[in-house]
Structure 1
């Protein structure tokens, strides 16, 4: 497990913020013990919140509004930003961290009644379309009769789809280069070159390059760039402007950061978050037709 600069065990993510509350697990909603196929709810952490590694007997879909969720699953870090969700298969051990004030939504799916097509063996990024999010919000109601709930649940499985972009940061898990990953997770602005790292660790640049390629599928420079974009998503969602984020992540000027963000995400930071804002607007429309059909 990667450790923060304070030496605290951390679920392979960023330096833990002061005042972070660490919880043992996300509690399943009470209705998860009922015959419902899908049970959903929402909470708003008033302080930065971290969940220690845990698993659930049900499949879980999590998404956020007004912030981000970062989740560590084995050798990967997932950053869940607006417009996306993360499907966590039943039994998969994971940890997570939500930014303060983010609306944290989760939905639990009974494994024995979830269609086989959704029995993903690994975590998946899910496209949180306005319709899907509205349906799951609709299912958080406690006054739905059995027929209305069954209709809404069936439509969920019609529209729930993996996102085109499966955005995850692979962690090396190689003792030769783990020190590099630990340092960059602790401080993404660390600008030490490949040559400087090689000299510091007493190994060759070629060894570092090969180790990163073998363990992550990325070069050292590409891996650091993807890590910085993961961190940028969190900072931007918290309201920091592009100039502040670029400086925080070690870029000489905002244009360099924007270019790096575009290379990884296929769009600029502004366009990415504008699209998320558009999704939020769409979710305001209720799904009353499902109940009345």
Structure 2
């Protein structure tokens, strides 16, 4: 089933819906959104279904319980049925929204927040969100997708209990709060390694230094906020001490100032 519409500002938005076993507790509805402009998913939601939001090509901004956060690569945002929340995405971004009647076993007792999505799950989500996919195979894939989810602990050191993934753990923590001012040496101290070791791990994992990765992260997060927040608010929300520094960094990265980007209209999915 494919749904296409427009928001009140005229920005085109497409939603393709793929339902399997609907009406049964074990069913799943996958909504695939694409828009030319940024997207917002409800300022206040009290959904009848549990919701999992995931994007393969950008960060998502989530607002809930008076606080906001961002998803890192390989993460989704989870909200149980009845939990008020808002999710935003930047322009020309793809968003998958999984709607469920049952809470996945790995997320039992986890009302809302960041969820790790394994490589198998990301592949299967994209596979079942294609026209003509066999329902029996899709429901089998549903079980594997849900078993591949896991709540993310905020403890950076605990994520590296095996002595690996230092840069990935720090990058994930910075994604959740781009304004976090923690320095490279302070992260390294939390992980009980040297700053040089952590810096080398960033270059090995991401092909860039800690400082460059943080700048890239902050600017990507800004894109998800600019359509609903003024430039001055966004600048401080993503960690810049001055608006002018943010404007220069944004224009250097994307070729236009943030004020121009913020004038884009926000598309609201159906």
TM-score (norm 2): 0.50
Higher relative contact order (CA 8 A, sep 6+): 2
TM-score (norm 1): 0.46
Larger radius of gyration: 1
